Amino acid sequence: MSRVEPILPGAVIGIVGGGQLGRMTALAAARLGYRCHILTPGADDPAVQVAAAATIAPYDDPAALDAFAAAVDVVTFEFENLPSEALSRLAERRPVRPGPDVLAICQDRIREKAFLGGQGIPIPAYRPVESARAAQAAFAELGAPAVLKTARLGYDGKGQAKLGEGDDAAAAFARLGDVPCVLEAFVAFELEASVIAARDVEGRIACYPLVANRHVDHILSETTVPAAVPDAVAADAVALAGRIAQGLDLVGLVAVEMFITDRGGILVNELAPRPHNSGHWSIEASVTSQFEQLVRAVCGLPLGDPSPLGPARMLNLIGDDVRDVARYLAEPGAHVHLYGKAEARPGRKMGHVTWLDPTGA
Ligand code: AMP
């Protein structure tokens, strides 16, 4: 592989998306001497508040995309529900890492599952369903319980319907908006877990350890580092994540969400080609945070060491949880992060707290 010239500190990293993932990436980039320029429709978004510059515009505004591209040296993105044509337009002008093809796969569950299946990665049994009749046929084949998920635009359990014995799959398909979906067999998992893999411009891979994720109301509540599973299971999970990063020809990060079954089996649930909530612990509890790792990867710098400094725990502050912030601030050993969001709506991620060596925390 020919050597790719690094984009050195002093350069401008363009981040598409203005949320907390962009905010924490911009903070990590600043530490390494880069400036960040955010493209987002939200003038007061969390990332805009800490970045050197911003283009405030819809993601599909061609003039804004061109002005943004002209102002930056490299582009990355911090969320997936973007038109992939927007990234393709940027990619005509600047390196976009991860590339538009990676986004196109990961933002569509049908394509994502076809990719994973094609790579020989274990996934739950599923059927793509594009009509009410196909939903019924797939449910008859896979049986109950099953989960119907919209192929696009789903997050935190939105765009999903669980189907039990005797449920009407056609009605569920209609309720989800008559849009392309996948029907998945319901997995009786022991644990939800994830691995974040980084891959650099030369194809080198560095993986964070397998961590355990506890969800409340479909939203990540707590991450425990490392996941309490046998070493062989953790090693398999990390190897799968590395294969996925390689298969995507990724430059950047990919978070691989997995179900671990009681016999130590691993099924990959979904991919996110960006920093991930289950990696926030790495800011204090890893040699290199996931955000710094993204900066290193997209700028063509050597990847950092993803090793944890020890066991850790991350708790999300969701909605009104943020009212307890004074309690966490007063707690020795609690690392508190707030995202600068004015309004604590239910289900909204307002911040998080990380503890190193949380035994007894
Ligand atoms: P997803 O948006 O695909 O990450 O799904 C959100 C949450 O729904 C997951 O974190 C699981 O808790 C649950 N879930 C999704 N798919 C399945 C499945 N096939 N079997 C069991 N639980 C699932």
Closest to 308 (Cα-Cα) out of 280, 335, 286, 277? 286
**CA–CA dist 199, 183 (Å, integer):** 31
**CA–CA dist 97, 78 (Å, integer):** 11
pLDDT-derived band at 357, boundaries 50, 70, 90: confident
Q: How far is the CA of 68 from the centre of ligand 1 (A)?
A: 36
Q: Of all residues in the chain, what percent carry a pLDDT higher than 70?
A: 98
- How far CA 289 is from CA of 12, 27, 208, in Å, comes to 20, 11, 9
Closest to 278 (Cα-Cα) out of 266, 290, 260? 290
Q: Which pTM was predicted?
A: 0.96
Residues found in the chain: 361
Gyration radius of the chain's alpha carbons: 20
pLDDT-derived band at 360, boundaries 50, 70, 90: very low
As a whole number, mean pLDDT of residues 6-13 equals: 97
pLDDT in tens, 207-238: 999 999 999 999 999 999 999 999 999 999 99
pLDDT above 60 for 245: yes
pLDDT in tens, 178-210: 999 999 999 999 999 999 999 999 999 999 999
Q: What is the mean pLDDT of the chain?
A: 96
- Domains of the chain (ranges, CATH numbers): 12-106 (3.40.50.20), 125-185 (3.30.1490.20), 191-355 (3.30.470.20)
Residue 154: DSSP 8-state = -
Q: Of all residues in the chain, what percent carry a pLDDT higher than 90?
A: 93
pLDDT-derived band at 3, boundaries 50, 70, 90: confident
**CA–CA dist 121, 276 (Å, integer):** 20
**Angle, alpha carbons 196-281-195 (nearest 5°):** 20
pLDDT at 4: 81
What lies within 8 Å, CB to CB, of 85 at 6+ separation is 60
pLDDT above 90 for 255: yes
Q: How far is the CA of 156 from the centre of ligand 1 (A)?
A: 9
Looking at this protein, which amino acid is placed at residue 269?
N
What lies within 8 Å, CB to CB, of 119 at 6+ separation is 243, 244, 247
Tell me if residue 266 falls in helix, strand or coil. strand
**CA–CA dist 54, 43 (Å, integer):** 8
Phi, psi dihedral angles at 79 (to 5 degrees): -150, 165
pLDDT above 90 for 358: no
Q: How far is the CA of 69 from the centre of ligand 1 (A)?
A: 36
pLDDT-derived band at 158, boundaries 50, 70, 90: confident
Phi, psi dihedral angles at 151 (to 5 degrees): -65, -30
Ligand 1 nearest-atom number relative to CA 267: 19
Q: How far is the CA of 52 from the centre of ligand 1 (A)?
A: 37
**CA–CA dist 213, 51 (Å, integer):** 30
**CA–CA dist 82, 94 (Å, integer):** 17
pLDDT at 117: 97
Distance of alpha carbon 193 from the chain centroid: 13
Residues with CB under 6 A from ligand 1: 124, 147, 149, 154, 157, 184, 186-187, 192, 215, 218, 257, 269-270
Looking at this protein, which amino acid is placed at residue 61?
D
pLDDT above 50 for 361: no
Torsion of CA 340, 75, 294, 251, to 10 degrees: 150
pLDDT at 155: 67
- Largest separation between any pair of C-alpha atoms in the chain: 61
Mutate to test the pocket of ligand 1, among 107, 190, 269 (most ligand atoms within 8 A of CB): 269
pLDDT in tens, 278-323: 999 999 999 999 999 999 999 999 999 999 999 999 999 999 999 9
Beta bridge pairs of residue 286 = 308
As a whole number, mean pLDDT of residues 314-336 equals: 96
pLDDT at 359: 67
Worst-scoring range by mean pLDDT, 156-165, 224-233, 255-264, 316-325?
Answer: 156-165
**CA–CA dist 252, 295 (Å, integer):** 8
Mutate to test the pocket of ligand 1, among 110, 147, 181 (most ligand atoms within 8 A of CB): 147
Residue 288: DSSP 8-state = S
Beta bridge pairs of residue 312 = 225, 356
Cis peptide before 332 (omega within 30 of 0): no
- Most confident range (mean pLDDT) of 44-53, 82-91, 158-167, 260-269 is 44-53
Closest to 148 (Cα-Cα) out of 190, 133, 138? 138
Closest to 128 (Cα-Cα) out of 158, 166, 173, 163? 173
